[in-house]
A and B are shown apart, each in its own frame.
Chain A
Amino acid sequence: MGRFLLKRLLYGVPVLLTVATLTFAIMHVVPGGPFDREKKLPPEILQNIEAKYHLDKPLWQQYVLYLKQLVQGDFGPSYKYVGRDVADIIRDTFPVSLTLGLSAVFVSLILGLPAGILSAYKPDTLLDRFCIFLSTLGISLPNFVLGTLLILWFSNTLHWLPPALWEGPKYVVMPAIALGAGYAGYIARLTRSTLLEVMGSDYIRTARAKGLSEATVILKHALKNALSPIVSVMGPLTAGLVTGSFVIEFIFSVPGMGNFFITAVTNRDYPLIMGVTLVYALLIVLAHIVVDLIYRLLDPRVTVE
């Protein structure tokens, strides 16, 4: 197990290095620097600023310097938020985004799993069709549309929930639903199809022959073996939650990493863009490792190499 973990972690290093190099390259071929203003800065001041942020050095030196700092966990200073380090900003905003992401995963599981189980329980019935229809609705409803509708309904009309900001559990409800609903659809689909596949196996026939109720057969026998594929989508799901968080944090004015990322792109705040991108990449690499680990625990036959 230890060797597996180490190997997977080492596997992540080239991925992160590629991402770091790519973002660095992308950010530096862009026309227009972070200090372009409507009103031109005097050349001396511009020179000072560029010297301060090492922008006057050749590109490869900037790259080496950047990587050197990166290894030490230093993402450099933000161009836009003067006096703040990118690492600081990430440290402040990451927990917010993490809370939102985990709540969204919770929402998607609590809606998706039961819907998929219900579907597989009575396949090709009205109930099944209804669940499939709902899941297609969930998949097709863009999260910003859902978010807007939720605000219009629950904040503007009913005044039940706050439409924006992040000041307590009440503020998490709508963003988590808007972010998680689409994935609930995917999970429902996947649960249904894997359950139906498993239901054809011999051991299910044995369980039925023993006279167990259909509910026990599904919940106790089939579901356990149907879980592996569901766990395996958690990797891509993390990636989806990351991009979903841009939109949801924007709509609900949540002070998370996604929101800062959008502002950073508009402001051309290179260090912040690169820092946040790297954190996302790291997150996805870690998510895949965790998924592989759970996979091994669920199904001892699997040896991930």
Chain B
Amino acid sequence: MKLYSRLSRPAQWSLVFLIVIASAALFAPWLAPYSYETQDLQLTLSSPDTQHWLGTDRLGRDLLSRIIYGARVSLFIGVFTSLIAIGIGTLYGAWSGYKGGKTDQWMMRIVDVVFSLPDLLLIILLTVVLGRGITGIFLALTMVSWVTVARIVRGEVLRIKELPFVESARALGMGQYRIIFREILPNTWGLLIVTLTFRTPVAILAESTLSFIGLGLAPPFSSWGTLANDGWTAIKFYPHLIVFPSIMIFLTILAFNFLGEGLRDVLDPKKRA
């Protein structure tokens, strides 16, 4: 609560918005007015009205319900790929930064190769191999996004390991694992939270972009990106089908970015840009 009151106004609104979206995703079966697959063939492609707030799609399925269920997939992929990427990236970056020298050089060279290629290009190539189910997309996203985290954490560890308290820990004879996990990493949690907040929208964007161009999630899963892709084919006459999922993607990414900026100002005042 104390943290919340220190956040900027846009960050506070964003947090509330994200909590609402996340709860809607979590409690989708109770909140959604219809099931995501119920077809009403009498009422296909209807515009938004009182019965279907956001209209229906080609098969008469309720768009609002499909967006609520789609939030599950989009948020799940966004949050969990980022969490795993942060786990891997933190370990890798911390080890590389702490060891320094040749180890650091080699470990970072690998990171540089992955980093130098465009994310989406790599993800597309990887999904060609891994398939386009949830697992494939999930793995591909994680494999690409940990390098960013590794770079950030390495930089921070390089800075912290020169501080006097680490030196005294070493003088006390602590082992390197203990120094990394007990002394150094606890000092990076603020940075990690900020990084998680900024990585999540990147992952959501990547997934929805892939799905939008038809190289992302294959049915039966539907995320906001696949919904937008469905709507794309009907853009001329039924724009509501693409507008609503697109707005959800935009607002969610925006909220994560505002929240990330707010958190950064509070947790890491030096880096304010």
Whether the Cβ atoms of B253 and A140 lie closer than 8 Å is yes
With an 8 A cutoff between CB atoms, is A232 at the interface?
no
User: In the bound complex, do residue B125 and residue A23 qualify as a contact, i.e. CB atoms below 8 Å apart?
Assistant: yes
Q: Are B243 and A152 in contact (CB under 8 A)?
A: yes
CB of A188, distance to nearest CB on chain B (Å): 11
Question: Is the CB of A65 closer than 8 A to any CB of chain B?
Answer: no
Asked if A277 and B116 make an inter-chain contact with CB atoms under 8 angstroms apart, the answer reads no
Name the A residues within 8 Å of B169 (CB-CB): none
Contact pattern, B 120-161, Cβ under 8 Å of A = 1, otherwise 0: 110011101100000000000000000000000000000000
Tally chain A residues at the interface, Cβ within 8 Å: 47
Residues B118 and A284 in contact, CB atoms below 8 Å apart: yes
Stretch at the interface among A51-59, A103-111, A168-176, A236-244: A236-244
Q: A135-151 interface mask toward B, CB cutoff 8 Å, 1 = contact, 0 = none? A: 01101111111001101
A142 touches B116 (CB 8 A): no
Q: A136-B258, A152-B239 are in contact. Are A15 and B253 (CB under 8 A)?
A: no
B250 in contact with A265 (CB, 8 Å): no
Interface pair B235/A152, CB less than 8 Å apart:
yes
Residues of chain A lying within 8 A (CB to CB) of residue B273: 189, 192-193
Contact with A along B1-35 (1 / 0, CB 8 A): 00000000010000000000000000000000000
Q: Which of B113, B214, B247, B250 contacts A266 (CB 8 A)?
A: B214
CB contact list, A114-153 vs B, under 8 A = 133, 136-137, 139-145, 148-149, 151-152
Q: Output the nearest chain B residue to A139 by Cβ-Cβ distance.
A: B257
Docked complex Cα distance between A87 and B154 (Å): 41
Binds B, one of A24-32, A71-79, A198-206, A297-305: A24-32
Contacts of B209 in A (CB 8 A): 142-144, 247
A143 to B118, CA, bound (A): 16
**Top 4 A-B pairs, shortest CB-CB distance:** A243-B120, A140-B254, A145-B246, A239-B118
Residues of B within 8 A of A (CB): 10, 113, 116-121, 124-126, 128-129, 201, 205, 208-209, 212-215, 228, 232, 235-236, 239, 242-243, 246-247, 249-250, 253-254, 257-258, 261, 273
